[in-house]
Amino acid sequence: MKELFTYKEFIKMMQKYGIKHKKRKLKRNENVMTNTSNPNSVILLIKGYISSYTCESPETLLSVFEPGVFLSYSILEDLPPLVTNIALSEECIVYEYRKEDIEYALSLFPENFGFQYFFLKKIGRHLYYKALLNAKDHQEKLYYAIKYLGKLIGEKDGKGNIVLPSEITIKILIEYSTLSKAAFYRQRIRLIEEEILKPHKKTFLVPKKVVKNSEKQLTSI
């Protein structure tokens, strides 16, 4: 069922209806909405990673989103922008759709309702794991921040380890975990010593044994 309602299938569906989009390339650190053709556009991330910060607290990193996420979904709910989205990758590609076209495609055809469910589920997973992280004890913040980001946007290598994207820098981990720099480095040293976390090229790796343990402990949605 899930394979029927991916963002790639959504793009094909919109093309079938003759609904056009604007393709945009973003550079690292560019605000997604800076060069938008319309502030009410709905933005679909196609390539790269985006860091999302809450408008009420601009220094608070909500999550790091992967391709297939609608970055301005609140527009469909007739709400003002709730987050600020910043390009993390050297090159990000987004498709920009008119709000009215998205509403037309998702509301008038019952066979398309599944797209809305899976798009909301993808956003919901990020909010779910961020809420779990916020409830963790301070001394466990980095441990769970890495686990949750691994589940959300990490990729398994040939040995079963989870590798985080190179965009997940120390700065991003500090912001996502909500730790101070001093607390972050203390916890980082401990996790490396206990082989829970391993530096890997320009990013980090979660060993297979930790991945298996997390799969038993964490609830997925």
Question: Which tens digit of pLDDT belongs to each residue from 196-219?
Answer: 888 877 778 888 777 666 544 443
Q: How far is CA 172 from CA 73, 149, 157, 176, in A?
A: 23, 11, 22, 6
* Tokens found for residue 125: 């997973």
CB of 64 within 8 A of CB of 88? yes
In this prediction the pTM is 0.88
* pLDDT band at 111; cut points 50, 70, 90: confident
Phi, psi for residue 142 in degrees, rounded to 5: -65, -40
Q: Could you read off the pLDDT of 153-180 as tens digits, one per residue? A: 999 888 888 999 999 999 999 999 999 9
Q: Could you read off the pLDDT of 56-78 as tens digits, one per residue? A: 888 889 999 999 998 876 666 66
Which is nearest to 177 in space by CA: 150, 138, 207?
A: 138
